[in-house]
Structure 1
Amino acid sequence: MLRSLELFAGAGGLALGTELAGFHAVGAVERDKWACETLLENKERGHPLVKNLKVLSSDVRDLNFTDLPTGVDLVSGGPPCQPFSIGGKHRAHQDDRDMFSAFAEVVSSVRPRAFLIENVKGLTRASFSNYLQYIELRMSMPDIGMKPDETWHDHLRRLEREATSIGDKGTRYRVVRELFNAADYGAPQKRERVFIVGFREDQDAEFSFPDSTHSFDALLRDQWVTGDYWDRHEVSRKARPEMPTRQVGRIERLKTQNDFRGLPWRTVRDAIQGLPEPRQDGRCPPGISNHRLQPGARVYKGHTGSPIDLPSKALKAGNHGVPGGENMLVRPDGSVRYFSVRESARLQTFPDSYVFHGAWSETMRQLGNAVPVVLAQRVASEVAKHLLIAEGREIAGRKAH
């Protein structure tokens, strides 16, 4: 069985994805009280994906490395994204929430066969290009840590020299990076995340990221060429929105395309299908957790919400201002309401049996910081596949000798 250690676990999006991909998490580290309570509540409820999870309520920087498990195949995690996110202050390494060095120190201590990091698209902005180069070099040589009096610029220059020099550099990793739109992999949300994957140099694995499975073109075809989307949801012609004028030319081209492949992007309507409208009395419907109406949604500049017949905009980690205003559903008639926590969890592809602990603001923060489970599963499945291939080659090599 492949074993993994989860850092910066949050509400568990990446942990659930790696578990579904075939890894068994031996521990999950998270310092946020509410996120830890979400993990623990699901563990206590016996949720099959976390029932055996050891939750460590700790700052990653305060971990006692001697207490960490050995024989770990994968260290995964999403270091806090605020230093790089569009909504953050863009301070990168100057932000005390920048935890990439802490991640590298754990990798240096545990020496997993592979690591997996996910983060926001903002990390790939041109203004962070030097720092992204530093992260990749830092992760490729995790044993070469930063000296007490060293800036990250100085450390980068030292790592660059080490990369081309002769001599022992400790454990080395081959590092690759890719930017994904979660909608292209089956999440009903246009959420862009960057993944950084590293394989230990002794692993005979030629890793490649997974191909996309869903597309916007397939959705346009499903809605405006075949009409199957509307039939599937029993939406009458009178109740359908008008064809988007900006996409008319694209739709006309799709009418003549015969070799069409891939599945349609999943929409908000797809995601919330089967859920009743959230109740206004503050109670959840029987058998459905975290599904209450949050009042006060309204549209104004910068707060336009997500049309029901498209994937949602990226959920934001907040409950007011731009973040809260964007966590809204827009009906075909233009009326809006906030997504319930359960609807937001579906947009992040958490199972309905997974519950979230805390008030609406706290749970929306947990969900806004999460990676969609289905996207984590797709990437982690490729990592698992290549680790198993490398293991098979190693066994075959030993038998040959």
Structure 2
Amino acid sequence: MSGAAEDDSLEVVEICAGAGGQSLGLERAGFRHRLAVELDGHAARTLRHNLVKVLGYKEKEAEDAVRIGDVADPEVWNPDEHQNVDLLAGGVPCPPFSIAGKQLGASDERDLFAWAVELCGKIKPKALLLENVKGLSGNRFIAYRQHVLDRLQEYGYIAEWRLLQADQFGVSQLRPRFVLIALQHEYAEYFHWPEPHSNPPESVGELLRDLMAKGTWSKKKLDAWVMQANSIAPTIVGGSKKHGGADLGPTRAKAAWEAMGIDGKGVSDGPPGPKNPRATGAKHPMLTNEMVARIQGWHGEEFADWEFLGGKTAQYRQIGNAFPPPVAKALGIAIKCALRKEGDPHPLIETSKVTLDPVYKILRDRKRPITIEQLVVKLAANGTPLEQPEVERRLVHLGHDFELIKKQRSNGETTFLLGAFKAFLGQEDHQRHELFAQHRARIS
């Protein structure tokens, strides 16, 4: 399928596009890229290359479609030029929400999730698709998610979060991703989340058998390895520029890889054999980038021909940070059907009636400070009772993402008043600009 040749294609603007995992999936679903913006030069060049090689764009079209730089920099692109595009999509940075990090959320200079929601309100796409790590679905970010739903409701969208796993869509890897989809009212009633595949994906052993066979293992040893690698992969991580070269994950992930007969401490130049000295004599083989890409979903007739540019470590980061193309395609098809009003409509759930965090809801609507004891009483009266320790915990979480104004009364009681959202929303004077400039070389 050529992205440039489909006359009935819908158009997408993609932010934080990476090396094209989501891009390829959306193209296969019937979306053509009006624009894709990516910070990393290697990933952007990979995307441009494959728009031409795989998706049939002309050289000039691909050059114009992919912009390299900070997506929030007005010098890189002008959102006003893309009003009412069919779809705004992106995989904004994960570290602000990852359980492997500090979960700074709105206080992290890499956080662009809230900015992307404001961008949606500005350019008014028919649909919005944002994906991130599972950590965003946790209790730490209940108020953050509530704020996102509230803002999208104000902008005229029906929005819903869902935790999806890549193995539900034919990818030989667990890879949970927390996905937000929002559509304008006239399309929202036609949106249905994609159904998981009925059959499980191939095991890592079966998936990689032919690639491992390119080495010098005997058939007996290859068969034994395939039997050992008889499960799907743990979540592949792209790694951070702060932490050196390619690495298949933290300690628990490395143990899972070892149980499958794979050394997770790095990435190899080739399959086991004398032409790959690093693997000679090792207990288990390392994966190659080609193998990692296959596990990530670049496999099969629609997805296998993608080429990654740059050195080995740069390629690995592009692959490991990607959204699996088959999952992106499944979501893209569901969104396309909604935008074309295909299928049976269903009753809408108004986001204004969805309450994720009743503490945030009370504070958001108050102009006067309130004590914890008063919060407990009000929550009970509203039909959402919470014990005081839980209210205190939620206030701590709120303080990470919002200005939480605390004052001491003369009787010793502490009162709370909700202030501004700390996240970067595009403000010219936000601390994000200075911190981003300082740390840009280390931002993946």
Match of 1:62, SS state, is coil
User: Is 1:309 equivalent to 2:191 in the alignment?
Assistant: no
Tell me which residue corresponds to 1:56: 67
The equivalent residue for 1:104 is 117
What is the Cα deviation at residue 320 of structure 1? 5.6
Does 1:346 pair with 2:294? yes
Q: CA deviation at 1:379?
A: 1.3
Give the drift of 1:212.
Answer: 1.2
1:337 aligns with 2:264: no
> Separation in 2 of the partners of 1:375 and 1:381?
10
Quickly say closer, same or farther: Cα 1:316–1:384, change in 2 above 3 A.
same
Show the 5 A alignment for 1:78-117: 78-117=91-130
Deviations 1:307-356 (A, max 9, x none): 62111111011246672774795586674222211111111112331111
Q: Is the 8 A contact 2:167 2:200 kept in 1?
A: no
Matched with 1:379 is 331
User: CA 1:116/1:34 → structure 2, altered by over 3 Å: closer, same or farther?
Assistant: same
Partner of 1:6: 14
Equivalent runs, 1:154-303 vs 2, <5 Å: 171-203=155-187, 205-213=189-197, 262-277=198-213
Q: 2-side partners of 1:104 and 1:205: how far apart?
A: 21
TM-score (norm 2): 0.60
Rounded to whole Å, the distance in 2 between the matches of 1:391 and 1:26 is 27
CA distance in 1, matches of 2:84, 2:69: 21
- Paired positions, count: 290
Structure 1 vs Structure 2: percent identity of aligned residues? 29
**What residue in structure 2 maps to residue 73 of structure 1?**
86
2:23 — aligned with what?
15
Shift of the 50–181 alpha-carbon distance from structure 1 to 2, 3 Å rule, reads farther
Which runs of 5 or more structure 2 residues have no equivalent in the other structure? 1-8, 217-226, 240-244, 263-282, 346-444
- SS for the counterpart of 1:264 is coil
What do the CA deviations read for 1:38-85 (whole angstroms, capped 9, x no partner)? Answer: 1123235x2226665410112121134356334411111111011111
Which residue number in structure 2 is paired with residue 130 of structure 1? Answer: 143
Change over 3 Å in CA distance of 1:276–1:50 after alignment to 2: farther
**Partner Cα separation in structure 1 for residue 119 and residue 30 of structure 2:** 22
SS in 1 for 2:92: coil
User: CA 1:201–1:133 in structure 2 vs 1: closer, same or farther (change >3 Å)?
Assistant: same
Q: Secondary structure at the match of 2:14?
A: strand
Please report the TM-score for the alignment, with normalisation by the length of structure 1: 0.66
Deviation at 1:33, TM superposition (A): 1.5
Please give the per-residue CA displacement for 1:138-180, whole angstroms capped at 9, x wherever unaligned: 3333xxxxxxxxxxxxxxxxxxxxxxxxxxxxx4100011101
The one-character-per-residue Cα deviations of 1:12-54 (angstroms, maximum 9, x if unpaired) are 111111111111111101111221121123235x222666541
SS of 2:187 mapped into structure 1: coil
After superposition, the CA RMSD in angstroms is: 2.8
- For 1:332 and 1:58, the matched residues in 2 are separated by 39
Structure 1 window deviating more from structure 2 (350-359 vs 74-83): it is: 350-359
Offset, 1:89: 2.0
Q: CA separation in 2, counterparts of 1:196 and 1:173? A: 12
Deviations 1:164-210 (A, max 9, x none): xxxxxxx4100011101111111010110011100112436332211
Q: Which runs of 5+ in 1 are unaligned?
A: 142-170, 214-261, 281-305, 394-401
Specify whether residues 27 and 3 from structure 1 end up closer, same or farther in structure 2 by C-alpha distance, changes over 3 A only: same
Q: 1:322 to 1:311 in 2, by over 3 A?
A: closer
Asked whether the 8 Å contact 1:18–1:377 carries over to 2, the reply is yes
Cα gap change, 1:96 to 1:333, in 2 (>3 Å): closer
Secondary structure, in 3 states, of the residue corresponding to 2:159? strand
> Which is worse superposed, 101-110 or 73-82?
101-110
Structure 1 match to 2:308: 356
Q: Deviations over 1:90-122 (max 9, x none)?
A: 111110000013212321232111111111101
Secondary structure of the residue that 2:193 maps to in structure 1?
coil
Aligned residue for 2:130, secondary structure, equals: strand
Contact 1:85 1:123 in 2 (8 A): yes
Query: For 1:321 and 1:366, how far apart are their aligned partners in 2?
Result: 13
The answer (yes or no) to whether the contact 1:47–1:354 under 8 Å persists in 2 is yes
The structure-2 alpha-carbon separation of the partners of 1:192 and 1:4, relative to structure 1 and needing over 3 Å to count, comes to same
